[in-house]
């Protein structure tokens, strides 16, 4: 091999071997910790939304442009700012109380900082006049949960309802 090709070959070998290395393994302990942490997040979301109404959602949504939410196949909020504007200026005037319940929660840890979250849900909504609105759902909710400096939050979410109505 000529001297000219040796440095190129060595460079390519180093680049290829470093790009093929896998990240540190996801340990059983980390996996269990993510499952437990996201389960706690789910419990806190249902309790917080049920106790504090629609505004409570905002602290559980990741406050970044990466956040988005879809419902029954429609992109409802392309980012956090659109979700915040709708909740703050429209939803709070329409809905005073939400009773949110999860069941059959599934959590699939993807890394120490990411997990898929899915659950059946039911909601009972109360309008601003105190009248209970028809139950939204039963349906299914999926989200990507991300561990942020504020704790576990929803990076994105999708609501689907059996009736094809509004999930959120």
Domain count, the chain: 1
CATH number for the domain including 35? 3.10.450.50
Examine residue 6 and state whether it is found in any structural domain, yes or no.
Answer: no
Dist. CA 6–CA 71, nearest whole Å: 57
Examine residue 44 and state whether it is found in any structural domain, yes or no.
Answer: yes
Per the structure, the complete domain to which residue 53 belongs is given by: 25-161
Is the bond preceding 138 in cis, omega lying within 30 degrees of 0? yes
Examine residue 7 and state whether it is found in any structural domain, yes or no.
Answer: no
Dist. CA 120–CA 141, nearest whole Å: 6
Average predicted confidence (pLDDT) for the chain: 86
Q: Report long-range pairs for 1-7 (Cβ below 8 Å, ≥24 apart).
A: none
Query: pLDDT band for position 23 (50/70/90)?
Result: low
Dist. CA 148–CA 160, nearest whole Å: 26
Mean per-residue pLDDT, 93-116: 95
pLDDT at 91 over 50: yes
Examine residue 166 and state whether it is found in any structural domain, yes or no.
Answer: no
Examine residue 111 and state whether it is found in any structural domain, yes or no.
Answer: yes
Query: pLDDT band for position 63 (50/70/90)?
Result: very high
First to last CA, the chain: 66
């Amino acid at each position: 091999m000529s001297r000219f090709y040796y440095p190129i070959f060595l460079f390519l070998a180093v680049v290829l071997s470093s790009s093929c290395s896998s990240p540190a393994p996801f340990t059983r302990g980390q996996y269990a910790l993510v499952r437990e942490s996201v389960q706690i997040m789910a419990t806190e979301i249902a309790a917080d939304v049920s106790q504090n109404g629609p505004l409570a959602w905002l602290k559980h949504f990741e406050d970044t442009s990466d956040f988005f939410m879809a419902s029954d196949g429609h992109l409802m909020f392309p980012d956090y700012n659109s979700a915040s504007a709708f909740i703050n200026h429209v939803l709070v005037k329409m809905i005073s109380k939400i009773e949110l319940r999860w069941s059959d929660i599934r959590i699939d840890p993807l890394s120490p900082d990411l997990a898929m979250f899915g659950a059946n849900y039911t909601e009972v909504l109360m309008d601003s006049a105190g009248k209970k609105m028809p139950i939204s759902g039963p349906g299914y909710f999926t989200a990507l949960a991300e561990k942020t400096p504020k704790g576990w939050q929803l990076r994105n979410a999708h609501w689907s309802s059996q009736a094809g109505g509004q999930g959120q």
